[in-house]
Amino acid sequence: MRIRSIELELPDRDSAVRFFRDTWGLLDAGERNGTSYLRGTEDIPYVVSVTESGEPAVTAVTFSGSKTELERIRRRAAAARVPLGPVRKFDEPGGGSGFYLEGPEGHVFRFVVERKRAKKLRPDRDRPLQVTHVVLNARDREACTRFAVEVLGFRLSDRTGFMNFVRCDSVHHAIAYAQSDNSWLNHIAFEMIDIDAVMRGIGRLKDAGIETFWGPGRHGPGNNVFAYFVAPFGAAVEYTSEIQRIGNRYKVGTPGDWKWPLNRNDHWGVSARNAAAISQAERKFSFRPLVAS
């Protein structure tokens, strides 16, 4: 199982596509039925879809897996009486079939068995490889984590004072739940090939008039290098690299394991976090309820 893409609805699709392609570094992966698709350099058919809509929203965070993995999730979701869509085919790059389901706070996840992988492209320091994690705000992050573990079959990697990190493969986290008073999108993280690529990205965004609101820095849980920005269409997006790969014997961290010294909230301590910028970005992106997907 791996995280594959995020599906967005935005009032100005064309300008969002221009940002993702010309500034963020994604590549055009085509357009179908009014939806634009963008990809990174990994073998994933696309990593972001953008559909024009009156209100900004997330319609799903998409994972791809084997037929057996999807059948298991579907069985557990049905047993847990989780809102569950029908199995259907998807007309999109990579094709395949799958289904949507909804988590306890309205976070919509889609699971797809891909018909075919895309051709892997040559790694490029100015382009993301793929989407590597999505962070979701949660009113009750423990209930969301139980759902991710018990229904989706994910594993808890770490728990800090305000976030729970869960994984679906060896990457430290594919989803993290951030304790909040809402259930909106927190941010989308794109993996870069190395620190140099993250730093080049910071420069490229700066050239486009977009400063980081946090970063560059190195996180505690996951040990990844990060830089966060607010995209012109309103969502918080992250360049990241060197995310930790872990095995089944990884000891789940507790808030006591992730304490920072005073005035420090990452390993480097070279950049402060602009909390106002991220809460403004979060406000724009709620999940479209499953019935409407």
User: Which residues are at the interface with Fe ion (CB under 5 A)?
Assistant: 189, 238
> Which DSSP letter does residue 75 get?
H
> Which DSSP letter does residue 281 get?
H
CA dist., res. 203 & res. 118, Å (int): 29
Spell out the long-range contacts of 257-265 with Cβ–Cβ below 8 A and sequence spacing 24 or more: 257/158, 258/158, 258/160, 258/161, 258/220, 258/221, 260/220
Smallest distance, Fe ion to C-beta of residue 193, A: 17
Smallest distance, Fe ion to C-beta of residue 158, A: 13
Where is 163: in which H helix or E strand? strand 163-167
Q: Which is nearer to Fe ion, 70 or 131 (CB)?
A: 131
Whether 27 contacts 70, CB under 8 Å? no
Smallest distance, Fe ion to C-beta of residue 258, A: 15
Smallest distance, Fe ion to C-beta of residue 137, A: 13
Q: Which is nearer to Fe ion, 100 or 226 (CB)?
A: 226
**Inter-CA distances, 221 with 151, 162, 166, Å:** 24, 12, 11
At residue 144, what are phi and psi to the nearest 5 degrees?
-65, -40
Q: How many other β-carbons are positioned within 10 Å of the β-carbon of residue 92?
A: 20
Q: Which is nearer to Fe ion, 238 or 266 (CB)?
A: 238
Smallest distance, Fe ion to C-beta of residue 188, A: 8
> Reduced to 3 states, what is the DSSP secondary structure of residue 198?
helix
Q: Which is nearer to Fe ion, 51 or 182 (CB)?
A: 182
The residue at minimum Cβ distance from Fe ion is 189
Q: Which is nearer to Fe ion, 13 or 218 (CB)?
A: 218
Q: How many other β-carbons are positioned within 10 Å of the β-carbon of residue 26?
A: 24
Smallest distance, Fe ion to C-beta of residue 172, A: 10
Q: Which is nearer to Fe ion, 92 or 238 (CB)?
A: 238
